[in-house]
Amino acid sequence: MPRKRKLLAQLSSLQSNSSFPPFDALENLNATPDGDSSPKSSKYFAIEKKNSSQLEDDFFNQPCISLAKSFLGQILVRKLPDGRELWGRIVETEAYLGGEDEASHSKGGKQTQRNAAMFMKPGTLYVYQIYGIYFCVNVSSQGEGAAVLLRSLEPLQGLDAMRELRSASKKGPTKLLKDWQLCNGPSKLCQAFGIDKAFDQRDLTQDAAIWMAPGHDLPGEQDVVTTTRIGIGNRGEWAQKPLRFYLRGNKFVSVVDKKREREMAAMGHFSCS
């Protein structure tokens, strides 16, 4: 019997055997020993994953300062057009309080085409450009014109893709970026995650290309440094407002305020390291 006919006969015999596993068991053929049944090698058993775990409307619907603190430890997820996912843990934020805040783009309650996202439902992305080149991403909160700037991420997944995206934004040869350099600043974060003006006014609870997932081992108050914002300059008393929040001891934070950390330790907020 020719080899091909012999193989077909064997396959027919197996299918008629009552001990042959049901079809849905085929999904586990590539399961790993630790019980992870997701496919590892064959496209034929691939199953489209759903965003079963992501932060919803009620999470974003809170006052600006509260939201800025609540973001710490949560996960920003970006799905690239080629299907790769980038994951980063939020480790630094800044709160911009709307009309009364002299450092906010919505100061005085003025709404423009540029800052419209700041007045939209909580969880809406506000992306703006600086120096005509770089982008920064914010998330709207409760409060008219209030939003939270995402300053730094701790890269968790897709670091090679992040390096590609960072390199693509530069001209000429570039040095290989270390992990801590990928997202330690608002414009670096946007470069590494491929976030540009096209993401302005997108809803983090509805978008298929970007969302937030709940983090694990969220920080307590004793883990959070509260200090002044970066680059506020001549905004009077608002330049000194403690509206920047970051995870103490995290090497992915853009700017560490050692003086403020010593002051908070002296007040008993956390032990001095």
CATH code of the domain covering residue 93: 3.10.300.10
Bridge partners of 150, per DSSP, are: 93
User: Do the domain assignments include residue 23?
Assistant: no
Q: What's the pTM? A: 0.79
Q: Is residue 248 part of a domain?
A: yes
pLDDT at 236: 86
pLDDT digit string, tens, across residues 205-229: 999 999 999 999 899 999 999 999 9
| Tens-place pLDDT, residues 66-113 | 999 999 999 999 999 999 999 999 999 999 999 999 999 999 999 999
**Residue 157: CA atoms inside 13 Å, Cβ hemisphere, count?**
10
User: From CA 239, how far away is CA 68, in angstroms rounded?
Assistant: 17
Task: Please list the helix, strand and coil fractions of the chain in percent, rounded to the nearest 5, in that order.
Answer: 30, 20, 50
Residue 39 belongs to some domain of the structure = no
**Token pair listed for 252:** 């992915």
76: in domain: yes
Structure tokens at 188: 């670096």
pLDDT, residue 51, reads: 52
pLDDT value for 271: 58
d(CA 18, CA 209): 44
Residue 8 lies in a domain: no
- How many CA atoms lie within 13 Å of 164's alpha carbon, on the beta-carbon side? 8
CB atoms within 10 A of CB 156: 14
Task: Round to whole Å and give the CA distance between 110 and 98.
Answer: 9
Q: How many domains does the chain have?
A: 1
* Residue 142 amino acid letter: Q
How many residues in total does the chain contain? 273
Cα–Cα distance between 231 and 103 in angstroms, integer? 10
Q: Please indicate, yes or no, if residue 3 is contained in any of the structural domains.
A: no
**Contact between residue 75 and residue 218 where contact means Cβ atoms under 8 Å apart:** no
Q: What is the pLDDT along the chain (273 residues), one digit of tens a residue?
A: 444 344 334 434 433 333 333 323 323 323 333 444 333 333 333 333 445 589 999 999 999 999 999 999 999 999 999 999 999 999 999 999 999 999 999 999 999 999 999 999 999 999 999 988 899 999 999 999 999 999 999 999 999 999 999 998 776 667 889 999 999 999 999 999 999 999 999 999 999 999 999 999 899 999 999 999 999 888 889 999 999 999 999 999 999 999 999 999 999 887 555
User: Does residue 41 form part of some domain?
Assistant: no
pLDDT, residue 24, reads: 34
Domain that holds residue 88: 57-270
